[in-house]
Structures are given as C-alpha cells and as structure tokens.
C-alpha cells in the first residue's frame, strides 16, 4: 500500500530535456558506427554554439543566465539540428543554422514557451534554402566509403575544409536524393533500390539509425515525455499516402517502409513534431497535426524541390496550430459539446 500525498510535482523542463537527449544517444552511437565519428564533432560544436548564443540572448534581454541555460532547451535544439544536417558539414553551417534557431526563431519570439515555430527546423530550412550544395554532402556509409574519416580527420575537415581531394570518397547523396535523381532518368524503383547505397528498407546504415530513433521515441512515450498521438498520426499519415501511391504504381513510387526508414521521418515523428511549444496541444489536434506533417512530408518528397520534406512540413503545420487547437478544444466538464 502506498501512502499519501498522491499529488506529485510536475517534471521540470531540465529533466525533460535531459531525457530527450538520453533517448537520442542510442541513435548517435549507431550513427558513429555506420558513418564515422564526424557526428560527434558536429554535436560538440553545435552544443557549444547553442550555449554561447543562448547566453548572449539572455544577457541582451537582461534575464538571469543560469536558470535559463540549465533548462537544456538550447542543447536539445542543437542536437536536433546537428542530426538533421550532414555530419561533415563545414563549421559555419552549424553556426548559421543555430543563430537562426536560437536567436531568431526562439528569442525574438519571447524565448522558450513563446516560439511559434520549431527552432531547429527554422535553422534547417534557412540552411537548405541558402546553402543547398554543402547540405547535400552527406558522409558515405562505412561499408561504401572509399576513405572513412577518423575523429581528428573529421575535425580537420569540418573546420579547415581540407581533404577536398577525397570528397567523392567520403561523401554521397542520400537515398531520397538518389531515388529522385534516378527516377528522373526513367529508372524504376526496383532498379534504383538495388544500388549499393540502399539497404533492406531504406539507406545503408540510415535505416538502422531510424530504428534506434524509434526505440528512443518509445522510451520517451513510456517515460511520459510525449504522448502517442503525434508520432502515431505522423507515421500513419506518411505510411497511408505513400502506400496508396505505391499500390497504384510501384514502379515509380517507393514503398511505405522506404519512406518511414529513410530521411528524417523517425526523427521528425518522435523528436521534432512532438515539440510541446510549437505543436498542437489537444488530443484531437495532435492527431490532425501529426497526420498533416506525415502527408505533407510525402508530398514534398515526391513533388517538391527538396528530397526530404520533414522540416517544411513541420513549419507549415506550425502555422496551422492555432486554428487546429481552436477547433479541437474538448467540451468543458458539465457543458454540452457544441456539435451535440
């Protein structure tokens, strides 16, 4: 038998952010295993940059630095952005992306709790629009790389841009980008997915990272950091629309498994779309919000100008959040629903 009191204190923001980062660690370990240690350099640089920018913004706003800095929100933004861009991207790309994420998308809107858009996705969108070339140089999987960068080589490459003569040996296009390019050459999906860069369901290595992100997401759900509504709706929306296109024409449209295991689908479903500030707040609203992101992600992938549409889908649905929440508010206890 347990004893009173039964009312518990709410979990602090810092504890929530710490658990989010812990949930990402298995995927980061898998990332290092399949693509080399460059991601560790990017994560370290992103973390330091985010803390510096957060401190500068707090001082400019005459706010106490320590309590806001210790909440961990800046670090989570840094990690999500670093995991969304190429691990071998030049250092300035991370700095520019985080400037727009922390300073513009977060603090110019009033800081944590007031931002209308997901900060990490704002930073990503700015980078992919402004600097498309470096955003396409992704590290090749270890089993395919002509030269796998070690830790110190990664530092040298990210900060100095040297080893440019081996760029073709260490970088490659993503599976989504390869699929798009090859389809334009009138090749079938079956032929394309037999290329070495593809694995069983998605890309070599990246499909395993997606699996570990899924496991991290399940941990967050079990720990009650997130609810099931947005991830399940996201996955269902993406799987449903991609499944319809696949059934109609499997020659030109990849399977739902491919779209779920490739790109930022799993990261978006569990770690990005579930942002409690910029996402929908009502149970029904979360389902609409998540499903909308999944559907838009697919439409951008097959019809848009960019191979992966998670960031733009999240930002577009962020705009719709006030409308979604206003129409999905549950009836006040003791009052009849307007529709009844």
* Residues 160, 28 within the same domain: yes
The structure's pTM equals: 0.90
* Residues 199, 142 within the same domain: no
Domain end call among 172, 199, 226: 172
214 within some domain: yes
The total of structural domains in the chain comes to 2
259 within some domain: yes
pLDDT digits (tens, 9 = 90+) for 273-319: 999 999 999 999 999 999 999 999 999 999 988 888 999 999 999 99
208 within some domain: yes
340 within some domain: no
Domain end call among 112, 139, 172: 172
337 within some domain: no
Q: Residue 263: exposed, middle, or buried by beta-carbon count in 10 A (0-12, 13-18, 19+)?
A: buried
* Residues 61, 155 within the same domain: yes
* Residues 22, 33 within the same domain: yes
Beta bridge partner(s), residue 139: 171
Contact 86, 139 (CB under 8 A): yes
Q: Which two tokens stand for residue 225?
A: 């950091």
* Residues 139, 182 within the same domain: no
Residue by residue, pLDDT tens for the chain (340 residues) are 555 555 545 568 889 999 999 999 999 999 999 999 999 999 999 999 999 999 999 999 999 998 888 889 999 999 999 999 999 999 999 999 999 999 999 999 988 888 899 999 999 999 999 999 899 888 888 877 766 788 888 898 899 876 655 555 677 888 999 998 898 888 999 899 889 888 888 888 899 999 999 999 999 999 999 999 999 999 999 999 999 999 999 999 999 999 999 999 999 999 999 999 999 999 999 999 999 999 999 999 999 888 889 999 999 999 999 999 999 987 665 556 555 4
Identify the pLDDT of residue 166. 53
* Residues 167, 205 within the same domain: no
Closest alpha carbon to 100 in 130, 76, 120: 120
Give the residue numbers spanning the domain of 289: 174-327
Phi, psi of 171 (to 5 degrees): -120, 160
Contact 310, 263 (CB under 8 A): yes
* Residues 194, 157 within the same domain: no
* Residues 133, 183 within the same domain: no
* Residues 287, 144 within the same domain: no
Three-class secondary structure assignment of the chain = CCCCCCCCCCCCHHHHHHHHHHHHHHHHHHHHHHHCCHHHHHHHHHHHHHHHHHHHHHHHCCCCHHHHHCCCHHHHHHHHHHHHCCCCCCHHHHHHHHHHHHHHCCHHHCCCCCCCCCHHHHHHHHHHHHCCCHHHCEECCCCCCCCCCCHHHHHHHHHHCCCHHHHHHHEECCHHHHHHHHHHCCCCHHHHCCCCCECCCCECCHHHHHHHHHHHHHHHHHCCCCCCHHHHHHHHHHHHHHHHHHHHCCCCCCCHHHHHHCCCHHHHHHHHCCCCCCCCCCHHHHHHHHHHHHHHHHHHHHHCCCCCCHHHHHHHHHHHHHHHHHHCCCCCCCCCCCCC
Closest alpha carbon to 193 in 251, 264, 265: 251
Q: Rounded CA gap, 162 and 22, in Å? A: 33
59 within some domain: yes
Contact 81, 123 (CB under 8 A): yes
319 within some domain: yes
Q: Which two tokens stand for residue 9?
A: 């204190």
- Whole-number CA gyration radius for the chain: 21
Contact 319, 266 (CB under 8 A): no
332 within some domain: no
* Residues 162, 226 within the same domain: no
Q: Rounded CA gap, 178 and 110, in Å? A: 40
* Residues 140, 31 within the same domain: yes
Domain end call among 138, 172, 206: 172
Q: Which two tokens stand for residue 144?
A: 């395919």
Rounded to the nearest angstrom, the gap between the alpha carbon of residue 92 and the centroid of all alpha carbons in its chain is: 20
* Residues 38, 137 within the same domain: yes
């Amino acid at each position: 038998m347990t004893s009173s009191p039964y009312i518990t204190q709410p979990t602090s923001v810092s504890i929530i952010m710490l658990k989010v980062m812990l949930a990402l660690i298995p995927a980061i370990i898998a990332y290092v295993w399949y693509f080399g240690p460059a991601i560790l350099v990017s994560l370290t640089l992103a973390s330091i940059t985010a803390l510096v920018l957060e401190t500068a913004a707090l001082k400019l706003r005459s706010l106490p630095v320590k309590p806001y800095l210790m909440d961990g929100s800046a670090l989570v933004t840094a990690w999500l952005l670093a995991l969304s861009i190429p691990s071998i991207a030049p250092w300035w790309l991370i700095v520019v992306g985080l400037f727009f994420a922390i300073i513009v998308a977060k603090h110019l809107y009033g800081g944590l709790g007031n931002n209308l858009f997901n900060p990490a996705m704002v930073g990503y969108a700015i980078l992919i629009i402004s600097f498309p070339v470096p955003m396409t140089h992704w590290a090749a999987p270890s089993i395919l790389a002509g030269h796998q960068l070690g830790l110190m080589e990664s530092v040298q490459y990210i900060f100095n841009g040297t080893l440019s003569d081996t760029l073709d040996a260490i970088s490659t296009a993503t599976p989504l980008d390869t699929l798009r390019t090859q389809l334009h050459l009138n090749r079938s999906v079956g032929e394309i997915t037999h290329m070495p860069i593809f694995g069983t369901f998605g890309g070599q290595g990246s499909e395993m990272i997606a699996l570990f992100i899924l496991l991290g997401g399940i941990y967050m759900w079990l720990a009650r950091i997130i609810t099931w509504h947005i991830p399940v709706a996201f996955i269902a929306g993406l799987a449903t629309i991609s499944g319809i296109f696949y059934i109609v024409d499997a020659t030109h449209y990849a399977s739902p498994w491919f779209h779920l295991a490739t790109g930022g689908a799993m990261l978006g479903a569990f770690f990005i779309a579930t942002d409690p500030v910029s996402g929908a707040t009502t149970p029904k609203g979360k389902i609409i919000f998540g499903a909308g992101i999944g559907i838009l992600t697919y439409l951008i992938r097959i019809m848009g100008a960019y191979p992966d549409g998670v960031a733009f889908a999240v930002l577009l649905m962020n705009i719709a959040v006030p409308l979604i929440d206003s129409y999905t508010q549950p009836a006040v206890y003791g009052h009849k629903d307007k529709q009844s």
